Amino acid sequence: MSQLRVTLLQTDPVWQAPEENRQRLAKQLADVPDCDLIVLPEMFTAGFGSDPKHYSEAPDGETFRWMMDIAAQRQSAICGSYGVDIGDSVGNRLVWCEPDGSHTYYDKRHLFRMAGEHRRYISGRDRLLVNYRGWRINPQVCYDLRFPVWCRNRGDYDLQIFVANWPGTRRHAWRTLLQARAIENQAYVIGVNRTGPDPKGQVYTGDSLVVSPEGDILMDAGDVAGTYSATLDLTALQDCRERFPVHLDADTFEITFD
């Protein structure tokens, strides 16, 4: 399909209260018009806490089942990240669920060391590409946004998604980098962030955006929690790439792991 209707939920989550957050999100989604894709923020069930074992879940736990139910009921894909138990550790896992019952996931590759995330979570190594309703989609999580090599379009995606808990003190970087990733990769970019304060003293200002392949802001949620929508056009994306084929001059590279 040429068009993709997306819904972004910019939320102010209740601290470390997964069931209450799921209930609040379900009520919010009840008023959302039909769409193809629903995007939730990073750690949407609990906020970005310092002890993930307090609110992490089994891979097939309550939040996973809730997302699968939402996808089936709404006939829409849904994605967002939360803490998932991986052996004795925890992954900051973006889960992707589709209406037909298929599902996959991406474990956050770049862990935010300034908040000690690298000590409490296990880092993912596998880049995720999803083919959905004619769109090739690359989901990422928060701090991944700062790493253009990891985010680089290798001719394999049309839409890149970043789910985040990105503090307002660095909102300029968030907004600028979302536009940069769209421009350099000639792809649509969606960034979904949370709002409100948390008990650690961080304040989140939202700034969820939908950005065109040319870097234009198509939707700006500002700092208000709520539900926001946009429609992406694959034909317009293809026209952009044909008119200005910078990808033909791209450099080759390899990603290695320490």
Q: Amino acid identity of 207?
A: D
Q: Is 142 among the residues known to form the active site? A: yes
DSSP labels for 235-253? HHHHHHHHHS-GGGGPPP-
Q: Is 42 among the residues known to form the active site? A: yes
Burial label, 160 (beta-carbon count in 10 A; 0-12, 13-18, 19+)? buried
- The pairing of beta strand 159-163 with beta strand 135-141: parallel
**What sign has the CA pseudo-torsion 240, 127, 222, 34?**
positive
Nearest to 1 by CA among 252, 234, 170, 190: 234
The residue length of the chain stands at 258
Catalytic one of 35, 79, 97, 108: 108
Catalytic one of 35, 42, 117, 151: 42
Q: Is 200 among the residues known to form the active site? A: no
Catalytic one of 35, 79, 97, 142: 142
Nearest to 101 by CA among 60, 153, 129: 60
CA distances from 257 to 109, 123, 124 (A): 11, 11, 11
Give the distance, in angstroms, between the CA of residue 203 and the centroid of all CA atoms in the same chain.
Answer: 19
Residues 6+ apart with CB under 8 A from 211: 178, 179, 181, 182, 188, 189, 190, 191, 217, 218
Active site positions, annotated: 42, 108, 142
